[in-house]
Structures are given as C-alpha cells and as structure tokens.
Structure 1
Amino acid sequence: MKAAFLESSTLFSNALLNNLLPSHTYAYVSGGDPSVIPTLTYDELRDFHKKYYHPSNCRMFSYGSFPLISTLKFLNKEYLSEVPDGSDYAALSKVPSEVRWDSERKKSIPCKTEQSSTIAVASLCNDIRSVHETFAMSILNELLVGSKDSAFRTEILKSGIGTGYAPGTGYDAQTRDTFFSFGLSGLDPSDFDR
C-alpha cells in the first residue's frame, strides 16, 4: 500500500476525492492510509469488518465459460444462505448525498516529488442512480475532454499553460455523487489564476 502513494498523481487524485466529498466514506483513503495502518490492531480490523461487510451490501462478479445457474446455486448454498439477515448492514453502510457548498473552497496539497505543479477545478454533479443524467454526462465528458480533438484539449492545452491533463480530469461516476474535474499538470504556480 505504501508504494501507491509514491506517485504524485495518486496523491493528487486521492486528495481531490477526499476534499471534494468530505462528509462521509469518500473522505478517507479507501485502502487505508499507509502512515496509519501500522497502528490498526487485529481486533479493530475484525470489528470493522464484522460491522460493515455483509453480502447484503456487496456485489459479486463472475466471468468465464461455466454454467451460471449451478454457480449461483453454489454461492447460495455455500455462502449466502449461511449468513444472517443483512438489514442492519444496509443502514450502516448507506452513503448519503454530499451537502453542496455555498462558496468555492481551495485546498493546497504539497508534494515534494515534482518541480511543476498541478491544479484542478471540480464540481459535484448528479446522483449516480440517475441513469439518464449519468449517461448524458458521460457523453458530455467525451466532447469536453475525451479525445484529442475535444474542446478543452484544443483550447486549453494549446495555450501552453500546462503540459497535460491533471490526474482525475473528466467525469467520474464511481461515487454516490458524481463529479466533473478539469485540471492541468506541469504548471508554474504563478499561472494558477490564469
């Protein structure tokens, strides 16, 4: 896990998510903060798992060339039928919508690994459960930043302010509240306002 935070792009992406969605689960490092993990006791880990992890709040994926029905029967017999009702787990792991801010917020994250800087402007968008809006935003994302001929790439990158897109640029539909982020890397900090 420690190696994941050696890359400044990973640090940047993680900080963007943690600061954009600060009220609940997304405010934390999903795999655990490497500097804190060694302080976690086995009992704390076990209690956390027992409290939050249950088949009622998970998704199971399978792939390959095998009979689906017999696989589902196996999962039910060997795993799902043996666990208690999960109604309590659903309430514990519910992720509420992020409260929208009244004004902009700025956050600076120092990183000693690069000489240039990275900046991003991000905004919360729709609830991920809105299939129509999520689909429309995905199309808009392609038009704005998704290709070499997209609007932002042709106008902003040609300006020479930065050398490329910042990590996390684009529409992200992996969180309860989706968000759009646009950023540039390879900037001189004096160009941030520009």
Structure 2
Amino acid sequence: FKRHEKLGTRYIHLDTSDTNNAFAIALRTIPQDSTGVAHILEHTTLCGSKRYPVKDPFFHMLKRSLNTFMNAMTSADWTCYPFSTQNEQDYDNLLNVYVDSVFFPELKELDFRQEGHRLELITKRMKEDIDNDNKILLERKGVVYNEMKGKMSDPSDLFAMHTDKNVFSDTIYQHNFGGDPEVIPQLTHKQLKEFHAKYYHPSNAVFYSYGDLQPCLRQLHELVLSKFSPLDSLRDIDDSITLQPYYESPVKHIACEGPPDAFLGEPDRQTRMCMTWLCNRVDDVEDTIGLMVLSQLLLNGPNAPFYQQMIATGMGYSFTTNTDVIQ
C-alpha cells in the first residue's frame, strides 16, 4: 500500500504469481439526484481523451488488445475502471488508454448527447392518414437513457429500486444512481463536466494492481500524478456520506405500481411484497456473515420455516432472500 504524499492518491498492489495481471481505477462518485450523472460520465469518458482523440478508443482496444477483461462500472457511491491481461505490452497499452480516458477525457457535447440523452426527429407513417402524409415526431434517445429505460421496465429491477428509495430515504442511496429515465433529461453537459472536475481527481482515486508484474508507480506518476498540482488536493469538497439512521418504529406500508413480467404470465398473480430490515453497517463483517447464515437457516430450502409457511401452504408460489450491504 502506498499513498502519494502531496496528492493523497492511494495505490494498492497485490503481488502474486498469477500471470493474469489486473489494474483498476476507483473513484468515489456521489450523486445528489437520479439524473444518472455518474453513469453517463462513465460512458462519456471512454469516448475520446487528450492523448487518444479518436472516437471510442475503449472499443478499439476491446477489439485490438489481448485483454482477458475490460469494463467500466458505476455503483451507488463509486465508479470503477478495471482491466486484466496476460501480456505485458498489452498491459502498458491499456494502462495508458485507461488513465488518459479517466483523468483527461474530451467530454464533447456530442458524445454526451450520444451516451446520455438527446431528442431525435423521426418520421412516423400514421395508419389512419389516407393522404400518406408524414408526421414529424420527437423521440428521446441515448445509450444510458435507453439502457435505464429497459432496466426500469423490468419488474424485479423496479421493485428493488423502490425498496432502496424507501429504506434509505435520508441518504444518497435513495437515488437511482444509474439514472431514472424520467429524470435523465434534466442533466446538462455543463453539469456532467462539473461532476468530472469535482470527483475525477487523483486525490479522490484509488489505484489497484494485481499479478506478477511490477507495480506501475512510475507510469502512473508520469501519466497522471505529475500533471496535477499539490494545491489541487486541497479542494473544498464535501464527499462525506450520511448514513441512514435506524428507525424508531416500523415504517408505514408503501405500495408502488409496476409492469408485469411477460415471461411469468397471469399478471393478476404477480403481486410482489417484501419486508426489509435496516441492519448493520457495511464494515461490520461479523454481523453481515451472521445475517447471511441466519437468512439461509430460516428461509432457504424446502425444510426452512419460511418455505413451509409460504410455499407449502400455497400462500405464494415463489420467493427470494437477500442480505445486501449498501451503507
């Protein structure tokens, strides 16, 4: 483990004999709404950078490199850019592309419109129009917009989102970090760039490497750390996360509507219900494991008490359990 003296950047290297070497850049990204700004930024950073001003260098590397894994992912309070490869030269190439894309992206407005949201003119032939005239319509599109539109039309994803929204109603975890299709259009290109300037900084980053290659400290210094002033690390940014306090009494019953699952049939039998308890913090490993074991004992398998009461009696036809760690 290393920490940069002036910028505060953290670097973790796990030295092993594994020839499949991995690298990742992780940043704390805290959304204040459901515009999906962190998710859209994750996409847009990979559309071209200062040293690689070509369209979608990430996807060029997907096709050309010898990688065993390449991706980028957004969660409720962090964004991560990982890759792995067994070839040393390929490792260096990917490292160059990744760090330049993350810290020095072009963030063009056209890329924002492509990845985030935009309005497109479409021509739709109206069946009832006997004169064969065309009607001009506007349609909302965007890679992330379409992705989240599909996700929010899935009953299970929508149900989980509403659960988090109500359980963590006083925290950032109430927001749809991937983006709510009804809110995504409120995000502007300016806000996207401001979010990048706020959170995509070495002082807010953790570098992680794994494998039998030597730590890439020198490359990271030359490619990233030397480009930033130590004064930048003194930025006045409140990136603290308020935790949801425990409830003093049971929360009222909350109901929401959603689409039926087309694969299950019989929409009138697709009512979903859940009971959720706010438990321990994410860093309390012992309690987390204990709750997972308790969940298995009480709920999992045909001999479990919950199964006997829910399924065997015909009260319900399916159930699932989950012990999640969010805050």
Calculate the TM-score normalised by the size of structure 1. 0.73
Query: Which is further off, 121-130 or 156-165?
Result: 156-165
Q: Does the alignment pair 1:143 with 2:288?
A: no
1:85 to 227, 230, 233: 233
Extract unaligned runs of 5+ from structure 2.
Answer: 1-147, 261-266
- Residues 44-63 of structure 1: pairs in structure 2 closer than 5 A: 44-60=191-207
2:182 to 25, 32, 35: 35
Q: Secondary structure at the match of 2:272?
A: strand
The Cα shift of 1:145 comes to: 3.2
Instruction: Give the helix-richer structure, 1 or 2.
Output: 1
State the aligned residue count: 169
Q: Mark the structure with the bigger radius of gyration.
A: 2
Aligned pair in 2 of structure 1 residues 76, 154: CA closer, same or farther (>3 Å)? farther
8 Å Cα contact 1:54/1:86 also seen in 2? no
Q: Does the alignment pair 1:172 with 2:324?
A: yes
Aligned pair in 2 of structure 1 residues 87, 140: CA closer, same or farther (>3 Å)? farther
8 Å Cα contact 1:56/1:87 also seen in 2? no
Q: Secondary structure at the match of 1:118?
A: coil
Match of 1:161 in 2: 315
Query: Which is further off, 3-12 or 106-115?
Result: 106-115
Match of 1:180 in 2: none
Match of 2:151 in 1: 4
The Cα shift of 1:81 comes to: 5.1
Return the letter of the residue paired with 2:241.
V
8 Å Cα contact 2:154/2:259 also seen in 1? no
Percent identity for Structure 1 against Structure 2: 28
8 Å Cα contact 1:18/1:28 also seen in 2? yes
Return the letter of the residue paired with 1:136.
G
Q: Does the alignment pair 1:103 with 2:255?
A: no
Calculate the TM-score normalised by the size of structure 2. 0.46
The Cα shift of 1:112 comes to: 3.6
2:219 to 48, 64, 74: 74
Aligned pair in 2 of structure 1 residues 73, 117: CA closer, same or farther (>3 Å)? farther
8 Å Cα contact 1:57/1:93 also seen in 2? no
Aligned pair in 2 of structure 1 residues 40, 70: CA closer, same or farther (>3 Å)? same
Provide the C-alpha distance between the structure 1 equivalents of 2:198 and 2:272, rounded to a whole number of angstroms: 38
Provide the C-alpha distance between the structure 2 equivalents of 1:56 and 1:134, rounded to a whole number of angstroms: 30
8 Å Cα contact 2:209/2:215 also seen in 1? no
Q: Over aligned residue pairs, what C-alpha RMSD do you find?
A: 2.6
Return the letter of the residue paired with 1:74.
Q
Q: Secondary structure at the match of 2:296?
A: helix
8 Å Cα contact 2:299/2:306 also seen in 1? yes
Provide the C-alpha distance between the structure 1 equivalents of 2:178 and 2:295, rounded to a whole number of angstroms: 28
Return the letter of the residue paired with 2:275.
V
The Cα shift of 1:152 comes to: 2.4
The Cα shift of 1:122 comes to: 0.4
Return the letter of the residue paired with 1:140.
L
Return the letter of the residue paired with 2:279.
C
